[in-house]
A and B are shown apart, each in its own frame.
Chain A
Amino acid sequence: MSAAVLQIQALGLGVSVQDHGRVGWRRFGVPLGGVMDAHAATWANRLLNNPSGAALLEFLLQGARICFLRETWVALSGADASCGFPLWRAMRMRHGDIMEFPRHRTGVWTYLAVQGGLAIRPRLGSRSTYAPACLGQILKPGDIMDGEPAPAFDLPHSVASRLAPALEQRDYARPPAFRVWPAPQTESFSAEALASFFSSEWTVSSQSNRVGYRLTGRALSSALLPWSEPVRVGAIQVPENGQPIVMMRDAPTIGGYPKLGTVDAADLSWLAQCCPGQHVRFVPVGAWPALE
């Protein structure tokens, strides 16, 4: 059944439709896009037996409000914004139920998956929103969203609820040290700069968004590349001011800053949930001859 499932009543600090991104279009300058925290988003879909790439809602911090227009199974995951419904478990919403995200507690991005996923016309192979190029559906208050037709979903009689294993329910207030692999300009940084990067504590700057997370701390010396080169999501670029920027989902496909390393993809989804002001640390993985 593809019918109206929910209405967006308030956007708060931001709500967008995302899926796992526009894979294969970066050679044309189109950012990867998609969910900032693939770990949490994947769990929300998995709890409902949705396809892993089903489109869901991604909420930034707090302030959004939605109303359900019919009975449906949903799953919330990711950041805790005091919405009053449990995270990391499948639950049934009724017609007229209101979901609000009044006050942000931990994490940055909250995901809401609905049974079957949201019905959005794909653009360039993805339902994710990339507003700068008018890709995807840019939400406004009052928008009504349809769900994709989905096979019947219900819990077996003896099962009271379905939830993500405790180990998978990340505590964003206590991030681990994030793993960093070498990148193309690793060798252009001095051993001292690399050692300083890994031994320092970095603060996530308030100037962080879907394009990049800026880190502040002790400046690392760095120099511009003669011309731009391809940039991966997860790459740690160091501009002239020496304060690293971790490239996130909507990052440009090429860039001219030297890259100190690449945050492991599994850890990048956790870094995405670190709030401005939060402290983070990094740990080297792979071959780092300069650190030996």
Chain B
Amino acid sequence: MKWIAYGPDAWLLQFADKLNDHAFTRARAITRELEQRPPEGLIEFVPAFTSILLEFAQGSFDEAQRKELASRLNRARAVSMARVRAKEIAVCYDGPDLERVAAQGRLEVEQVIERHWRPVYKVYAVGFSPGFPYLGDLDRALHTPRLPSPRAHVPPGSVAIGGVHTGIYTVPGPGGWNLIGRTSARLFRWLAADREESGTSPFLLHSGDRVKFVRVAELPREATT
């Protein structure tokens, strides 16, 4: 693991150099350790594909503490991936960019859909907007560059492909990924943010989760909160 200084009182910890199961498992193990036994002074941590940002209160984290944490994070182990149940998300594949994804991969639309719903995906990172999951590993034939110019308005629940990732838009707004389907699952239940004390997470997916898409012809109705 490599600790890179990221301004005063912050570090970028690089725990892998490739996107694969190893990186995913390391991220889960480190996150779990930080959640269960946060080091003193840790204000915030942000895990992503192969690195994690650690921010500490001003002057609260010295070299001895860093060494102690480094050895703790090195030893951290994750719950075996096989034992993590994948969350199922129903998707209706009728997005406006299905043809574009098919054309660049020299596939039929039906093959795009098949290759998209079949794998079990890993949530490598959550970012871009609240609760937006970066899912991998996406079938190589489906890797599709972002749109030359982003759409001004993408509805939440849009299932999309951006480069080597697939993801789900969580809030209305602009977006440049290729839209291939829709889900009625709410990834960011912002109204639930009021109930944060009750212990319900306002986010459906977290870094380290696994996801399985279920193809449906019609979407189930979801509660609006």
Contact = CB atoms under 8 A, between A and B. Distances in A.
Interface size class of B (residues with CB under 8 A): 35 or more
A235 B194 CA distance: 31
A229 B27 CA distance: 13
Nearest to B42: A24
A258 to B, nearest CB: 12
A232 B10 contact: yes
B207 to A, nearest CB: 7
A184 B12 contact: yes
A221 interface: no
Interface residues of A, number: 35
A232 B53 contact: yes
Contact of B51 (A134, A230, A234): A230
B171 A227 contact: no
Contact of A28 (B43, B131, B164): B131
Interface string B146-167: 0000000000000000001000
Interface stretch (A36-44, A69-77, A92-100, A119-127): A119-127
Interface string A14-46: 000000000111111110000000000000000
Nearest to A234: B7
B173 to A, nearest CB: 5
Contacts of A163: none
B126 A230 contact: no
Given A28-B203, A29-B127, A29-B131, A181 B48 contact: no
B46 A26 contact: yes
A11 interface: no
Contacts of A200: none
Nearest to B47: A27
B12 A124 contact: no
Contacts of A219: none
Nearest to B51: A229
B6 A27 contact: no
Interface string A224-256: 000111101011000000000000000011100
Given A27-B207, A132-B173, A133-B130, A254 B48 contact: yes
**Chain A interface, DSSP helix/strand/loop, else mixed:** loop
Interface string B78-92: 000000000000000
A125 B196 contact: yes
A229 B171 contact: no
Given A132-B171, A183-B6, A254-B128, A27 B46 contact: yes
A228 B125 contact: yes
Given A124-B196, A133-B171, A253 B190 contact: no
A262 interface: yes
A30 B132 CA distance: 9
Interface of B: 4-8, 10, 12, 19, 43-53, 55, 125-132, 134, 164, 170-171, 173, 188, 190, 193-194, 196, 202-203, 206-207
9 contacts: A123-B194, A124-B202, A125-B196, A183-B6, A184-B6, A228-B48, A228-B127, A254-B46, A262-B10
The 4 closest A-B pairs by CB, nearest first: A230-B53, A262-B7, A254-B127, A230-B46
Given A25-B130, A28-B131, A29-B126, 13 more contacts: A28-B203, A30-B130, A123-B190, A133-B129, A135-B193, A181-B8, A182-B5, A184-B51, A227-B164, A229-B48, A230-B47, A230-B127, A232-B7
